[in-house]
A and B are shown apart, each in its own frame.
Chain A
Amino acid sequence: MAPVPTERDLRLDLFRGLALWLIFLDHIPSNAVSWITIRNYGFSDATEIFVFISGYTAAFVYGRAMRQHGFIVASARVLKRAWQIYIAHVFLLAIYLAEIAYVANSFDNPLYTEEMGVLDFLKNPDVTILQALLLKFKPVNMDILPLYILLLAWFPPMLWLLLRAPSIALLASASLYALMWLFEWNIPAYPSGTWVFNPFAWQLLFVFGAWCALGGAQNLSRWIHSKVVVGLAIAYLVFAFAIAMTWYFPRLAVFVPKFVGEAIYPIDKTNLDVLRIIHFLALAVITVAFVPRDWPALKSRIFWPAIVCGQHSLETFCIGVFLSFAGHFVFTEVSNRVFTQVVVSFLGIAIMVAVAALISWYRQAERQGGGPRPPAAKPGYAGGDV
């Protein structure tokens, strides 16, 4: 197997940071600024980037831990990380319940009698909160962390296999994805339906990221840089862009031949449609082709805000979810003019950067100033988090 590079690839942090910003912008309903996010111009969105890079960094960090300290120690670290994410999820849930309970108590309008029924779950908190702790009740936009928890909980054996037989591991992951489509596997949700991000589907992207981190990317690099592949990727992105335009200009929809429409729709996000995977791969190919690993600008100040967010992704993600609640609250209680939306969006990103920078500084101070634990105790942090 090819040697694993020891220095962290800043491109991963950069694009994960950007993905976190986009997720924040997309999570504020009716946000004019979310016009700039990639989901409007093709099939895939920031979720794919986030899951792929999370898989990549998880393998990068825990793969080394597994080699140096063995299966048990590395698995314990992975599960500790999953536990941290679970705590973060429950914390966000508490904030969400506070917001919902406020709206339920203060808002009344005969026009929206039906819509207010969505708050009915507050009437039986015994069931709802229990279901939420079991990760079955997941309010809108709080689906990514439960997915992440499950993917990590399942990661130790996968990582073990990836380190020994990467191709077989990737094949196993792809088979699971195929079986999911065949048998329509998913995890039930409460009060009805299934998980919005089907873990049987999304694991493929996570494992593919891990596979790339453990040498797969190097094996692929000849292909990625070939002109044919780059050309195909561009062609596919143009196709996806053209289709996306018909969503906003229904008049254009008549130009989509019927057989094309029948072949591509519905583009399933829950089960990670193949069209979405290909769209993400095309974006990745273009990115790798045009942003070299040693691009000097990666160390410049322009990209630092996104990179620092990407290095502390869990904290940044949580603060982003919280800020999107807060942002929507501002829209409904204060003003929803486009100007406000722009201010809220940029202020939100600024807060995400500030928090990430604070955590970064705190980690450094902890390491230098003889914090609670000596730095040797956490080799997991190779300049950032998983």
Chain B
Amino acid sequence: MKERLLLLALLMLGSGPVWAEQPAECRVAENLLESSFRLPRVTRAIVAKHLTVLVMGAGSSQLPGPNGSNGAGNAYPVRLQQALAQQLPGVEVKVTTDVKAKRTAAEMVKGLPAALSASKPALLVWQTGTVDAMLAIDPDQFSHALDKGINIAHSAGTDVVLINAQYSPRTESMIALGTYAEDMRWVALQHEVPVFDRFSIMKLWGELGTFDLYSATKKLDIAERVHDCIGRLLADLVITAAKPEEPPVNGSR
């Protein structure tokens, strides 16, 4: 999406507010993290002092580790767990993952019921879209898979947060993400599910020079810091959306 100028303008006007408690590199326009939708099941889980999260995703939810290990210790799901635990003192936070590279949304949905019944999470964080765009999967099928996955999660008593594709400047002219991002936004709107707009956030980082997303490197340092920020901003989104607000959350959402 092309909110770029707008966001820059917002930032220049000083209305781009700032996550003061976090290191400067994660600063991002607030409207990218706002969601008008709540996460009532997460709210209840926090009240019950026990929050389980399932992260389901493809290759951009993991990092290659040092010496060829899977590097789970550095990817955003683990950072999410750390950030949630830190911001929710007294709540037992557990993040489990179902992450495998090169999976389309439909492929992930297949394993979803089993994964949900295994960990019984209050929240499903679902990263998808990149692989579907790369394989040029029929957008209708993509929307249908999202729809199905959200329905499965909701009927299993699990809230959903969707994560869209990464901003990847070098491959931007080779992967047509547009339709898939729009379809995700629309499905999310229909189900009143928050979307973590990873694409716009990373794009803003690229533009502000927060991270050099162009660099050709085998080193992991930038990738790890990016995932660290994603994990923490994701935690912010979850906690904000789970805040009980007026009118009090009563599960009618």
Contacts and interface: CB of A to CB of B under 8 A. Distances in A.
Interface string A218-244: 000000000000000000000000000
The number of chain A residues touching the other chain, given as a range, is 35 or more
Contacts of A251: 31, 34, 36
A193 interface: yes
Contacts of A332: 169-170, 214
A250 B6 CA distance: 13
B119 interface: no
B59 A107 contact: no
Contacts of B171: 103, 112, 115-116, 118-119
B168 A115 contact: yes
Nearest to B219: A110
Interface residues of B, number: 56
B60 interface: yes
Interface in A113-128: 113-119
Contacts, number: 140
18 contacts: A30-B172, A34-B2, A103-B174, A108-B216, A109-B216, A110-B217, A117-B59, A119-B171, A193-B138, A194-B138, A250-B31, A250-B34, A250-B185, A266-B186, A270-B139, A336-B169, A336-B206, A338-B5
Given A103-B171, A266-B143, A114 B176 contact: no
A139 interface: yes
Interface in A78-108: 99-100, 103, 106-108
Interface in A260-278: 261-262, 265-266, 269-270
A112 B189 contact: no
Interface in A154-192: 189, 191-192
B136 interface: yes
B102 A29 contact: no
Given A103-B170, A103-B174, 20 more contacts: A29-B172, A30-B4, A30-B203, A109-B223, A110-B63, A110-B218, A112-B60, A114-B102, A115-B130, A115-B170, A117-B102, A118-B171, A192-B135, A196-B136, A196-B176, A266-B143, A269-B179, A332-B169, A332-B170, A338-B5
